[in-house]
Amino acid sequence: MTERRKIQAEDLFKLKSVADPQMATNGMDCVFVETKMLEEENKYASNLYYINIHEKQKPVQWTYGENRNHSPRWSPDGKMVAFVSDREGKGQIFVLDIKGGEARQLTKCPNGAANPVWSPDGTKIAFNAALKDGEAIFVNKSDEKKEKKPLPLEVDKMRYKSDASGFWEGNYNQIAVVHVQSGEVEKLTEDTHDYQLQSWSPDGAYITVTADLNEEKDHSYQSDVYLIQANTKEVKKLTASTGYFGHVTWSPNGKYIGMLGHESEYKNATLAKIWIYDMEAEMLRCLTSDSDLLIGDYAIGDFQQGAVTPGILWGEDNHSFYFLATDHGNTVVYYGTLDGEIYPALLDEQHVYGLTTGGKVDYAVVAISKPTHPGDLFLLNVTSGELEQLTNVNEEILQEIVLADVESIEFKSSDDWDLHGWMMKPANFKEGDKVPLVLEIHGGPHAMYANSYFHEFQCLAAQGFAVLYINPRGSHGYGQQFVDAVRGDYGGKDYEDIMDAVDYAVAKYDFIDENRLGVTGGSYGGFMTNWIIGHTNRFKAAVTQRSISNWISFYGVSDIGYYFTDWQIKSSLSDIHTLWKHSPLAYVDEMETPLLILHSEKDFRCPIEQAEQLFIALKDRKKEAKFIRFPEANHELSRSGKPNLRISRLNYITNWFKDYLK
């Protein structure tokens, strides 16, 4: 038998991601999205695949080509699938007959269309479209050919840019409806607000949307749920502008509306809960108010493409439902009822990043990833808890490479808090070896490392590094008090948690060479990397990614800076002293660790000036530092950036640690 080789950064081109499974109401037919990276074209390709979950046959490819085909949604009768494709340029809505034939394009929106939702009778599809005020829903062919000239950007509001979409160009996210047979399109909303389409009521009378309809948006941080009468366009508000609500779904009889959300008691650190709106009583109640469980998938990773977190998935009895929850390093499938019963239906060391039931209660299709398994679809027998694998998309490469195993660790912080994380030994580790250790720190800070595949970690392990990663205070998955504890204390107990983890690892694992320690992280993890090397010389090398170095300038340059700073540091420009005290740049004179700075040119979340300030300050003091700038990339480089840049980033990280820790 040929010995398996170690994984490389470039193996991303061979690995495939499967996501967004969608089961038809017959409980048998399932469609999903498979995404891969194309090396020569330097882009991603996504296509739809079909599988009958009971026949267990090999999945059948339904769409082809080198475009992005995604967001498949079954018609109510299960005879057609609507999806989004960019085969004509910008993403548009297409429908595909399951009997075969070419996909038929339904929309020709000037800025694309997204998020298809079928009407209950299957004659219409609602969707989202970004439009300027008064702009037509159809592409004007004469305008399509005109060369676009650069124009000045007029800014009169604070929220004029976002990391996801760049500078605001005057588009508002509207709701429209297209007739499947005729192709006729009508706008359901057309004002100067952004609407997010959610779901259609079983009787066809209402469409649920979420929006913030406050006129002054710069200091409004909410998302309300609205009912729009499909015929009259009359609008009714269901939530009380107290927080953030979404993921709206209807019970089959139309009597109840389920939603996920919170009332922002702890700003963006507030746990999402399950809420139920009773249509007859016209009353909203929180079903999980007494629970410390976080509803939804908040696990962080660098591999899956197009993962979708569903809301609550109702059963045919109009009383029970399934949902995902984030809990102690795992994402779990839970079962719940209107009576408030909640218990796990699939509890394991795993990351469930997709869930669909087709409205059934006996079976579900789940997308699962584990540290040594990038991700596949499985059939869950809810009664027995048994899992049966439906896809094996990475079988070929997984037989070719060796992946490093991980061990879960639990320990006490210096102030007696329970902490949880993982230790990954180097690939092909041999007893008696002494190896360098790389500490990884996640972003957020309100996110969670999980029992999930992480390509960066595996690449480091393949190069002979042990990898330590934990969920310090501020992480999701360990209750409300734990996630809120970081706010106002950046560089405090969170820093101590991380250093406690290093102490624990060095004491427990005799294979770690404590004289060869490295540290890296991105976003908040980049902030913490900067903070660490300004407060200890224990690490021999560091890589800071898309980081924060100066909270004073971050306040004005980040797309979220002016309110995120208030929420997280609990300070503003009226208290420069506090902002500077929490800024790693303030401690640059103490930084002695060789530092590699990685940052994207179009990062609007943590703008590149944060990296520039740190780099210049270090070089001016004759410190050892190197700065790598990634063009045409934003804050999401490590997860969804240009393939060649993702590979370069991984190689920069591993090579820096090889140079300084080997």
Among all residues, which ones are annotated catalytic? 523, 635
Cβ-based neighbours of 234, under 8 Å, separated by 6 or more? 228
The residues, ordered by sequence, that sit 6+ positions from 97 with a Cβ below 8 Å of its Cβ are: 79, 80
β-bridge partners, 596 = 543, 626
DSSP 114-145: EEEEE-TTSSEEEEEEEEETT--SS--HHHHT
**List of residues 6+ apart from 395 with CB closer than 8 A:** none
Q: How many CA atoms lie within 13 A of 345 on its CB side?
A: 28
Closest by CA to 653, choosing from 162, 304, 661, is 661
527: nearest Cα among 552, 497, 548, 558? 548
The Cα diameter of the chain in Å comes to 74
Contact 148, 154 (CB under 8 A): no
Q: Are 560 and 548 in contact (CB under 8 A)?
A: no
Altogether, the residues listed in the chain come to a count of 662
Is there a contact between 412 and 494 (Cβ–Cβ < 8 Å)? no
**SS3 readout for 225-290:** EEEEECCCCCEEECCCCCCEEEEEEECCCCCEEEEEEECCCCHHHCCCEEEEEECCCCEEEECCCC
The amino acid sitting at 90 is K
Only one residue has tokens 């913030």, namely: 212
Cα 441 to Cα 520: distance, rounded to the nearest angstrom: 6
In the block, residue with structure tokens 């009997």:
99
Q: How far is CA 72 from CA 201, 238, 288, 351, in A?
A: 19, 28, 30, 22
Alpha-carbon distance 222 to 264, whole Å? 9
Cα 193 to Cα 174: distance, rounded to the nearest angstrom: 8
Measured distance CA(90)–CA(36) in Å, rounded: 19
Quick check: helix, strand or coil at residue 438?
A: strand
Strands (E), 41-165: 43-52, 60-61, 69-74, 80-85, 92-97, 104-105, 113-118, 124-132, 161-162
Report CA torsion sign: 351, 487, 160, 157: positive
Q: What does DSSP say about strands 541-545 and 512-522: parallel, antiparallel, or unpaired?
A: parallel
Alpha-carbon span 541 to 438, nearest angstrom: 9
Contact 62, 82 (CB under 8 A): no
Nearest Cα to Cα of residue 50 among 26, 86, 15, 14? 26
